[in-house]
């Protein structure tokens, strides 16, 4: 006799729509592609990166601006005594001055500004990849939570359909009334598990909505094929691709920026020329004259050695930070790759042996229980095992897709997987 447990589990694929059906589901269904598009367009972290680009662009524009000229007005020989009483002997001077930077200081500032702007662009690219990866992880978390609730629902339906049959057996004297209570306890526990899964789903939906720049979930469900997996390429192949990560390329721009800042520090002791031209009027003789002036500081006490040393250390720090970033990314990539391959192997075992055996065990146990060959406890145990196996597969699938999204976020390119048919 069959109680519908396997049939209910078999309907899970229908409960999670395929991406190709997304458009027909209406605006309430969210696909991975649409979620990523919304996140890239509205995620606050990308908006922050855009503002950093604007800030660096402003600094770059300001770095090439010439110093402003200076104008001054002076009156000498006034308000004194004798011949200098009042303004009879006043000398009036109107002067125009200009600071002339020497040694290539302006060009060095412009180089530093350009490198800072490049670094800001690369940082935005890195942030964009992180947002895409985080969105994919959040999307599959929602998808897995939806499927988990469906698994619990199928289990509950099977247990509830068993209750009328148990009642008839009790009325016929073939079973103890305790068996009805035992079946109800089993159903209640699964109900509790489903409520916990609904809480997990609510949190996952909120996380996904936040990544898309929304204050609350504005979708009914997500649609995707979480069951489809594949065999990843070798770690060496993936490891080579990590060098294209914008986080590492960004250090090229940072290195150029620190080089320019070091040059600025070295050029600061080079004295700048201040030139001026003035018009002077002598009131006592009513004569006019032109005065030229040039001044240049003597770099005697301040050689800017402290700032030069700081710039040297900042330049060396970039190299150390590059090594640290590369090591961190490689470690993260290694962990994700091991998780991916481990989940792939786990799915291979579950799909080749555990899941088929669980199905056969349920079939045999349900048939035998209807014939009186097995107890209710044995039937419930087998049904629980089948549900746990399905949940174990779902956990492995979530681990697989989370690791896959992490790797693609680190390499910046879709990971090519060998074809493997989905369950």
Q: What is the pLDDT of residues 279-308, one digit of tens each?
A: 998 887 888 899 899 999 888 888 889 999
The rounded percent of the chain whose pLDDT value lies above 90 is 61
Compute the distance between CA of residue 358 and CA of residue 386 in angstroms, rounded to an integer. 5
Confidence of residue 390 (pLDDT cuts 50, 70, 90): very high
* Rounded distance between C-alpha atoms, residue 170 and residue 3, angstroms: 17
CB 41 within 8 A of CB 128: no
* pLDDT value of residue 380: 85
Lowest mean pLDDT among 85-94, 142-151, 184-193, 295-304: 85-94
Look at residue 19 in the predicted model and tell me its pLDDT.
38
Predicted confidence at residue 77, as pLDDT, reads: 83
**Token representation of residue 48:** 């922050």
- Beta-carbon contacts of 294 under 8 Å, excluding residues fewer than 6 positions away, are 273, 274, 275, 276
Contact in structure between 372 and 174 (CB atoms under 8 Å):
yes
pLDDT value, residue 4: 47
Residue 215: predicted pLDDT: 86
Determine, yes or no, domain membership for 117: yes
Identify the pLDDT of residue 363: 83
Residues 238 and 337: their CA atoms lie apart, in Å, by 9
CB count, 10 Å around CB of 183? 21
Whether residue 9 is predicted with pLDDT greater than 90 in this model: the reply is: no
Domain that holds residue 336: 5-12+32-419
pLDDT at 10 over 80: no
Question: Among 71-75, 250-254, 318-322, 375-379, where is mean pLDDT lowest?
Answer: 375-379
Q: Among residues 223, 198, 214, which one has the least CA distance to residue 27?
A: 223
Residue 68 sits in a domain of what CATH number? 1.20.1600.10
The reported pLDDT for the residue numbered 76 is 87
Give me the chain's average pLDDT, please: 87
CA 79 to chain centre: 72
Pairing of strands 230-231, 418-419: antiparallel
Reduced to 3 states, what is the DSSP secondary structure of residue 93? Answer: strand
Structure tokens at 289: 């004259």
Asked if the structure places residue 22 within a domain, the reply is no
pLDDT band at 27 (very low <50, low <70, confident <90, very high): low
pLDDT tens, residue by residue, 32-72: 999 999 999 999 999 999 999 999 999 999 999 999 999 99
In a domain, 18, yes or no: no
Name the pTM for this structure: 0.82
Q: Are 53 and 114 in contact (CB under 8 A)?
A: no
- Position with higher pLDDT, 11 vs 195: 195
Q: In this structure, what is the dihedral angle of CA atoms 212, 216, 217, 218, given to the nearest 10 degrees?
A: -90
DSSP state of 279: E
pLDDT at 15 > cutoff 60: no
On whether the CB atoms of residues 389 and 356 are closer than 8 A, the answer is no
Model pLDDT for residues 230-240, shown as the tens digit of each residue: 888 889 989 98
Domain-embedded: residue 23:
no
pLDDT at residue 255 tops 80: yes
In the predicted structure, residue 11 carries a pLDDT above the cut 60: no
126-135, 194-203, 405-414: which range is least confident on average? 405-414
Residue 250 lies in a domain: yes
21, part of any domain: no
Q: What percent of the chain has pLDDT over 70?
A: 90
pLDDT exceeds cutoff 50 at 393? yes
Question: What is the predicted pLDDT for the residue at 12?
Answer: 40
pLDDT for the residue 159 = 84
CA–CA separation, 126 and 248 (whole Å): 9
Rounded mean pLDDT of 196-222?
94
Decide if 151 contacts 11 (C-beta within 8 A).
no
21, pLDDT greater than 50: no
pLDDT for 312 equals: 94
Looking at residue 26, the DSSP 8-state letter turns out to be: -
Query: What pLDDT score was predicted for residue 107?
Result: 94
User: Quick one: pLDDT at residue 7?
Assistant: 42
At 237, list the tokens: 């192949």
Structurally, the chain folds into a number of domains equal to 1
């Amino acid at each position: 006799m069959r109680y519908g447990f396997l049939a209910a589990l078999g309907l899970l694929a229908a409960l999670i729509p395929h991406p190709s059906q997304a458009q027909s589901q209406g605006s309430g269904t969210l696909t991975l592609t649409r979620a990523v598009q919304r996140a890239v367009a509205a995620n606050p972290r990308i908006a922050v990166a855009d503002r950093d680009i604007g800030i660096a662009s402003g600094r770059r524009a300001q770095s090439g601006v010439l110093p402003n000229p200076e104008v001054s007005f002076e009156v000498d020989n006034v308000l004194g005594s004798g011949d200098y009483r009042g303004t009879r002997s006043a000398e009036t001077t109107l002067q125009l001055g200009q600071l002339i930077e020497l040694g290539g200081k302006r060009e060095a500032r412009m180089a530093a500004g350009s490198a800072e702007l490049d670094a800001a662009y690369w940082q935005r690219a890195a942030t964009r990849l992180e947002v895409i990866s985080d969105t994919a992880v959040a999307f599959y978390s929602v998808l897995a939570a939806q499927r988990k609730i469906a698994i619990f629902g199928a289990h509950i339906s099977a247990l509830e359909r068993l209750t009328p049959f148990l009642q008839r057996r009790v009325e016929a004297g073939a079973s103890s009334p305790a068996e009805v209570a035992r079946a109800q306890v089993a159903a209640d526990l699964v109900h509790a598990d489903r409520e916990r899964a609904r809480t997990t789903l609510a949190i996952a939906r909120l996380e996904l909505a936040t990544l898309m720049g929304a204050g609350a979930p504005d979708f009914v469900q997500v649609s995707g094929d979480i069951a489809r997996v594949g065999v990843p390429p070798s770690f060496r192949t993936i490891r080579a691709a990590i060098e294209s990560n914008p986080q590492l390329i960004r250090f090229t721009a940072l290195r150029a920026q620190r080089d320019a800042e070091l040059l600025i520090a070295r050029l600061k002791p080079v004295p700048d020329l201040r030139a001026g031209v003035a018009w002077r009027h002598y009131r006592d003789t009513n004569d006019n004259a032109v005065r030229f002036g040039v001044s240049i500081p003597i770099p005697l006490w301040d050689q800017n050695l402290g700032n030069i040393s700081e710039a040297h250390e900042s330049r060396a720090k970039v190299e150390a930070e590059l090594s640290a970033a590369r090591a961190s990314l490689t470690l993260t990539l290694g962990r994700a790759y091991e998780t991916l391959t481990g989940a792939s192997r786990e799915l291979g075992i579950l799909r080749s042996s555990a899941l088929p055996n669980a199905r056969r065990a349920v079939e045999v146990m349900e048939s035998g229980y209807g014939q009186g060959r097995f107890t209710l406890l044995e039937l419930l145990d087998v049904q629980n095992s089948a549900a746990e196996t399905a949940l174990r597969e779902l956990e492995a699938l979530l681990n697989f897709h989370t690791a896959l999204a992490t790797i693609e976020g680190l390499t910046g390119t879709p990971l090519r997987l060998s074809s493997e048919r989905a369950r």
